[in-house]
Structure 1
């Protein structure tokens, strides 16, 4: 059975709505043989990353960067997971008040360094998520999970 690890930092209702849509998509009807594991960014470990086959990452944009919690996650797992996870698929979503450019750049930079392969377009949202934004988060979860089915 494949494992999809969702690592997130959800400090706001908007981030929570996006996370819930990603989780719903990952568990959509018809997706079989995939275990979805959720971890808050401050609780996720290198063991979680090594045990997973793909990753979904969620963060708010904070001061032009990913959240400190997601940065802490990457700091903890980078070297222990560097060689073993190279080439694994990932996707991510970012929420910001008015700009997510720096947060997107920071997530892309670290995942490129890890050698992870982006398996879906990022979902980026500023302001309150629209129905279309929530649907895009659902699709992100479904795409990553479906990609792990045998």
Structure 2
């Protein structure tokens, strides 16, 4: 049975965008999973209802998630409430610091949907390099594979 993976991200400088594209490339390695890659401003409730799993990407802005990702949560939180989504999710973050503030804030919001965190976040510090992109591809593939075999 085909599963659906939704990758929602925001990128201002391009770092998180590079990560999101690499996560998406990695997820393509699992042929039984269909993936949607959407900017946070373009994603909505219908996308959440379509998904079997979620990956959220954000830069660390002022020690928190981006305003665009927060906007996505603000727009979908109450409309999603009746559906009790209970979807698995994981995070990838482009950080100038340690990324912990963004992780904390997203995890707090995710509990209310409810969503289930299934892995430690992937945090890339500084400028995005080849090693970061390889980690992102592995991250996307791992999520897609987990959905495909039903462990999430």
TM-score, normalization: structure 2? 0.89
> CA contact under 8 A between 1:120 and 1:144: conserved in structure 2?
no
Structure 1 residues 7 and 85: alpha-carbon distance in aligned structure 2, compared to 1, 3 A threshold: farther
Q: CA RMSD in A?
A: 1.5
Match of 1:34 in 2: 33
Count of residues paired in the alignment: 148
In the TM superposition, residue 68 of structure 1 has moved relative to its aligned partner by 0.4
CA distance in structure 1 between the partners assigned to 2:64 and 2:124 by the alignment: 14
Structure with higher helix content: 2
Which residue of the partner structure matches residue 83 of structure 2?
84
| Gap runs ≥5 in structure 2 | none
Report the equivalent of 2:144: 145
* Unmatched segments (≥5 aa) in structure 1: none
Work out the CA distance in 2 between the residues paired with 1:8 and 1:85. Answer: 22
Moved over 3 A (4+): none
* Length-normalised TM-score, structure 1: 0.90
- Aligned residue number for residue 66 of structure 1: 65
Contact 2:60 2:97 in 1 (8 A): no
Q: Which residue in 1 is equivalent to 2:92? A: 93
**Superposed counterparts of 1:1-150, under 5 Å:** 1-28=2-29, 31-150=30-149
CA distance in 2, matches of 1:131, 1:82: 39
- SS of the equivalent of 1:138 reads helix
Of residues 73-82 and 95-104 in structure 1, the stretch that sits farther from structure 2 once superposed is: 95-104
Which 10-residue stretch deviates more, 78-87 or 65-74? 78-87
